[in-house]
């Protein structure tokens, strides 16, 4: 950097934008944390190394049990490393792989860990013990992302969600087959937490959950589903009326190329969600995104049902 025309502060600012945060309604993106591109910035200039480390080591991805031991050795030899880790991704490489990430050394050292991601990639079985949620409680988790868990884990999954005392953001992605939603959820009591952001993706209806299963303090709600879906009215239709403090609503619909009937999409998905919103004056914005084809819903939509619904809701916002 001796002959550089740019100050080191400006270079560090540019490096910081490499992993600019995604919009709040986006779930975990595996490609965002690929280290191959980030490592290059550590080779360019030695003066860039401290700032590049903050970006490179912010997310730790564990795919095999042996990586846990390697990770522990790394933070034992370099204790400063733990100050950079803010997100832990559990991404089993093989079926039935148990990754012991709730190790006492990791729990003691990862004091700045805020985000935990379970990326199961359609694993066939839940391999963690029944009291796994009590072990995870030892981490200061405020954001939880669960993606495509095994179909037999419904009760274990919500036992974990409802146990986290400081959870503020929850993202659930379930694009696989319909889950056996009656398997034990009635025996798991929902505990209201100050959940602020809720992102739901997939085909599940969540109808089996008790009322106010996600609390009543949700301010940002994102619903993304596919068409056609096993549940006509999209996910979480029975819980939306509880969110009396809702400020932002995102509705995403994955529409196959062969299906271009926008009236069906509006009638089957969008309008039922809007009509279930509680009467309140906090809602500031509604974003609708229809993916896979170039379709947009303008603010002055000609669809009579949408126009009527929006006009009726406008009086209570």
DSSP symbols for the chain: -TT-SS-HHHHHHHHHGGGPPPPTT----GGGG-HHHHHHHHHH-GGGHHHHHHHHTSEEEE-SHHHHHHHHHHHHH-GGGGGT--EEEE--SSTT-------HHHHHH-TT--EEEEE-SS-SS--S-TTHHHHHTTS---EEEEES--TT-HHHHHHHHHH-TT--EEEEEE-SSPP-TTSSGGGS--------EEEEEES---TTSPTTTT-S---EEEEEEESS-SSTT-TTTTTGGG-TT--EEEEEEE--TT---HHHHIIIIIHHHHHTSPS-S---EEEEEEETTTB---TT-S-HHHHHHHHHHHTT-
Asked whether 219 and 197 are in contact (CB, 8 A), the reply is yes
> CB-based burial of residue 130 (10 Å sphere; 0-12 exposed, 13-18 middle, 19+ buried)?
exposed
Q: How far is the CA of 189 from the CAs of 154, 159, 169, 184, 216, in angstroms?
A: 13, 8, 19, 10, 15
Q: Write down all domains in the chain, each with its CATH number in brackets.
A: 1-56 (no CATH), 58-193 (3.80.10), 195-317 (no CATH)
Dist CA 258 CA 289 (whole Å):
18
Secondary structure (H, E, C), 112-128: CCCEEEEECCCCCCCCC
pLDDT at 168: 94
pLDDT string in tens for the chain (317-residue length): 566 677 877 877 777 776 667 788 887 665 555 556 666 666 677 777 777 777 778 889 999 999 999 999 999 998 988 988 999 999 998 888 899 999 999 999 999 999 999 988 767 778 888 888 899 999 999 999 998 887 666 778 888 888 898 999 999 888 765 555 545 555 555 555 689 999 988 866 676 677 778 888 999 999 988 765 545 555 676 788 888 889 999 988 877 666 665 666 777 778 888 888 888 778 999 998 877 644 444 444 444 444 334 333 333 33
CA distance 47 to 118: 35
pTM score, two decimals? 0.81
Per-residue pLDDT at 70:
94
Question: pLDDT value at position 176?
Answer: 65
Note the pLDDT of residue 302. Answer: 46
- pLDDT of 304: 44
């Amino acid at each position: 950097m001796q002959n550089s025309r740019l100050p080191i502060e400006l270079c560090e600012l540019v490096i910081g934008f490499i992993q600019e945060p995604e919009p709040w309604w986006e779930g975990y993106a595996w490609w965002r944390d690929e280290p191959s591109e980030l490592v290059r910035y550590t080779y360019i200039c030695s003066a860039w190394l401290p700032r590049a480390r903050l970006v490179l080591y912010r997310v730790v991805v564990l795919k095999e049990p042996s990586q846990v031991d390697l990770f522990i050795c790394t933070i034992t030899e370099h204790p400063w490393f733990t100050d950079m880790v803010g997100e832990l991704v559990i991404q089993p490489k093989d079926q039935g792989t148990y990754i012991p990430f709730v190790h006492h050394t990791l729990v003691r050292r990862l004091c700045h860990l805020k985000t935990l991601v379970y990326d199961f990639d359609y694993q066939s079985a839940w391999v963690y013990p029944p009291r796994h949620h009590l072990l995870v409680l030892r981490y200061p988790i405020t954001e939880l992302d669960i993606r495509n868990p095994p179909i037999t884990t419904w009760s274990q999954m919500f036992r974990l969600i409802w146990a986290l005392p400081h959870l503020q953001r929850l993202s659930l992605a379930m694009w696989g087959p319909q889950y056996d939603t009656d398997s034990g959820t009635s025996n798991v009591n929902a505990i209201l937490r100050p959940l602020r952001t809720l992102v739901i993706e997939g085909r599940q209806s969540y109808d089996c959950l008790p009322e106010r299963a996600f609390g009543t303090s949700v301010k940002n709600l994102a619903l993304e589903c596919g068409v056609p879906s096993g549940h006509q009215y999209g996910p979480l239709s029975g819980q939306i009326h509880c969110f009396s403090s809702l400020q932002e609503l995102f509705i995403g619909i994955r529409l196959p190329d062969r299906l271009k009937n926008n009236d069906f999409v509006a009638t089957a998905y969008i309008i039922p969600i809007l009509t279930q919103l509680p009467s309140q004056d906090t809602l500031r914005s509604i974003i609708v995104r229809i993916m896979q084809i170039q379709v947009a819903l303008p603010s002055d939509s000609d669809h009579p049902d949408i126009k009527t619904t929006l006009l009726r809701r406008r009086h209570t916002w």
